[in-house]
Amino acid sequence: MSYDQIPQLPADHHKAVDWDRVKRAARLQHPVRTAATLCAGAVLGPWWTSHAAMPLIKLYGAAAAIGLTAMTGVYASVVMTIGRIRPIVRRLAAVALVTAISGTLYAAPVRDLIAAWIMES
């Protein structure tokens, strides 16, 4: 590649990036907060198992518990992506998402269903 083929940027190209937004996004990816979110969700998982997943499994089967977890994931993801919501609410939505997933996976019928699906593949 010759020197003439390299695109030249304007003198104020550094202002094209919103550096404040990049810094905020980098701070949101803090590993301690992420670990705390995962731990809090995993600790609350057995509560989800006994109060949400197992009653649904007894009434409608394992697919209903998986469906409830999927819908919880959709709602939590929407809350987490809306910028106007307070950060603590977004963090609680992330904890709820981890709680729903881990709590559903703690339920034995769901684990058996997943194991059977893996063995069939």
The Cβ-side half-sphere exposure at 83, using a 13 Å CA radius, reads: 3
Tens digits of residue pLDDT in 55-102: 999 999 999 999 999 999 999 999 988 878 898 999 999 999 999 999
State both tokens at 2: 């010759």
* pLDDT band (50, 70, 90) for residue 54: very high
How far does Cα 37 stand from its chain's mean position?
Answer: 10
Lowest average pLDDT, out of 28-32, 33-37, 77-81, goes to 28-32
Top-confidence residue, 89 or 21: 89
pTM tops 0.85: no
15 within 8 A of 72, measured Cβ to Cβ: no
User: Could you give phi then psi for residue 30, rounded to 5 degrees?
Assistant: -65, 130
C-alpha distances in angstroms, 11 versus 7, 14, 67?
13, 8, 53
